[in-house]
Amino acid sequence: MGVRQTVRDALTRVYERRLARALVGADVPRHVGVIMDGNRRWARSIGLEDVAHGHRRGADKIRDLLAWCDDAGVQVVTLFMLSTDNLSNRPEAEVSALLRIIEDVAVDLSAPGRRWKVRQMGAPEVLPPETVAVLKRAEEDTCDRPGATVNLAVGYGGRREIADAVRSLLAEHAERGTPLEALVEQLDVEHIAEHLYTRGQPDPDLVIRTSGEQRMSGFLLWQTANAEFHFTDVYWPDFRRIDFLRALRDYSARHRRFGE
């Protein structure tokens, strides 16, 4: 390691400690959503042809992120890992490799000694049965753990989630024998919220997207109505604690009005 890099690393550590001190007593988001973007571009930027290396490197970053969230006191973390659009628009070989990586992440996060509660979030019917089985096992194995809830958004689409919520709501009332006219009269936003994938959880306070893109890509369309957004140019595999602390600093400095 050269002298210049050593100095740069030392300055980064100093700045990181300063950020951490500045956040003591600051408002902390209960629920953080992360759009982990840039894995493929990261791989190509260092000359790798197989983008699965980028997905694998990005997967390795997840444990770091969750440890930082634990340190900050975040209660729920939602990770956007694979969208319904990814499933239909990306090459089959890439999707297959990514699904194996996601399965490995679920197994790792649910391993003995981990504190997190893992939840699968998405439409299981669009995923291979083996992936669904791994995600379900991770959820079952961690349901009683005391740590933060970690939603793995796999086979997820925001519009599909809302459609699924409405279907679930209609099916519930059909089973009860509720007349359609009565349902139309009673229906409000809370009734739909009770059927979302995130039911029972607080809505995201902060959404972080890496890689420089400034769009939501259908992520938690309903739940992010009042969320704060933080966009960073860093590719997800290069995301550091200092980048996470910057996002928290950005969040803590905002005055959340909730439509006021």
Active-site residue list: 37, 86
- Best CA proximity match to 63, nearest among 31, 10, 106: 106
Q: Rounded to whole angstroms, how far apart are CA atoms 162 and 143?
A: 25
Three-class secondary structure of residue 119 per DSSP: strand
**Token pair for 220:** 């938690």
C-alpha–C-alpha distance, residues 231 and 85, integer Å? 21
What residue type is assigned to position 138 of the chain?
A
Contacts of 157 (CB under 8 A, 6+ apart): 83, 84, 85, 122, 123, 218
- Identify any residues that bridge with 34 across adjacent strands, giving them in sequence order: 79, 208
Q: CA 250, CA 21: separation in Å to the nearest integer? A: 14
Residues 154 and 131: beta-carbon distance below 8 Å: yes
Count of residues making up the chain: 260
Q: Where are the beta strands (DSSP E) in the chain?
A: 31-35, 76-83, 117-121, 149-156, 206-209, 228-231
Q: Residue type at 65?
A: L
- Written as six digits, the tokens of 202 are 């607080």
